[in-house]
Amino acid sequence: MSDERRQCGEVIEELNTTVQALLPELDTQLDVIPWETDTHPDLTGSPQEVVDDQLPKDSDVFLGIMWSRFGTPTGTAGSGTEHEFLSARRGWETKRRPAHLRFYFCEASIPPKVAGEHADQLKAVFDFRPELSNQGLVGSYEDRSRFSDTVRRDLVLVLARLLHGQTVQIEDAQGGSGVITPADHAIVRNQVEALTREYEHLRETMQSGDRRTRRMEVVASQLRSLAQSAYPLLPDLATSERPGDRLAAVCIHQAIPDATYLDWLGERMPAEQPFLGYHAAVALLVAARDLPVESLDQVAHALERAESMWSRLLRSTDRSRVLDNVRGELKRRLSGTGRL
């Protein structure tokens, strides 16, 4: 994934230049910390122990990428990438550091020779992905040469939240309709509509299965990356009769959760097709993680509403597993307030 890593570095340089030009008083800079350049040889431990010892223990963002290879076992995990992800997730669960976890899976076609020679690696990637999906941490992209387009928009949202907090981000998004020009509004609406039409085309023309789901996941990731600029479209998208528009509304909430739409999200799980219902569950999980504590009762109500309306929900479905994570996140956050 060297090309994606290079693009990520270029995007971060671009964001640093932008922030320093527009907000010099913040004295803020993003730094990439790759083990290849930020560690030195050391024979006092295993390779992974050396990396763990030399890299900084604290960071704001963890960003992982996978395609056709899972990696080399470390002794504590199936690969160095899995080890680092598990370490970051433990830090997030115990002290919210890193503050943001992002993991991207490439959906580009894998050459048959590579697939044949590394079948065990592909299986490991396939087995690893559901664990992250059920935690709402997955993004997808198809064109490796344009990974920067995906990660740029996601990092802009992350940076805004790090600098200004979730509440300010929602206020900025809500106020966007007042400053966006009609021409810009039309451009964003056309981008959203193209993606929602693509989702509907995929659902109607492809056979149900893993291949269709992965293609639709790419569309969902692209919709999520448009969340900040598409937020003013939310009322129309949420009430649309088109499933693609409702998917766009759900994906916006995955990036910018808003308490006023929580019951609407809860209603989506029993009312929609499985893919859209799953993403509604993920949006509810993001809300349970990111909304202020005073909004958690509304999250709990939306969860109860979803489960009461869908009494036949199988416990083995991905939606059910995500809702279990919603319940666990609510318990964790509310227990710290003495309200449980």
Which DSSP category does 23 fall into?
A: -
When pLDDT is cut at 50, 70 and 90, the band that residue 217 belongs to is very high
pLDDT at 51 over 70: no
Count of positions (residues) in the chain? 340
pLDDT at 37 (0 to 100)? 61
| Dihedral-angle region of residue 80 (phi above 0 means left; psi in -120 to 50 means alpha; beta otherwise) | alpha
Amino acid identity for residue 117 in this structure: E
* Span 109-113, average pLDDT: 85
Per the prediction, the chain carries an average pLDDT of 84
Does position 186 have pLDDT exceeding 80, yes or no? yes
Quick one: angle between helices 274-290 and 262-271, nearest 10?
A: 150
Instruction: Say what the pLDDT of residue 174 is.
Output: 55
- pLDDT for residue 258 is more than 70: yes
Q: What was the pLDDT predicted at 170?
A: 57
Q: What is the pLDDT of residue 265?
A: 93
> pLDDT grade, residue 165 (50/70/90)?
low
pTM score: 0.81
User: Would you say residue 153 has pLDDT above 90?
Assistant: no
pLDDT in tens, 224-242: 988 888 999 999 999 999 9
* Residue 290 pLDDT > 80: yes
Residue among 243, 187, 255, 189 nearest 216 (CA)? 243
Contact present, 121 and 70 (Cβ < 8 Å): yes
Query: Per-residue confidence at 177, pLDDT binned at 50, 70, 90?
Result: very low
Please state the rounded mean pLDDT for residues 288-295.
90
Q: 3-state DSSP call for residue 32?
A: coil
pLDDT of amino acid 81: 86
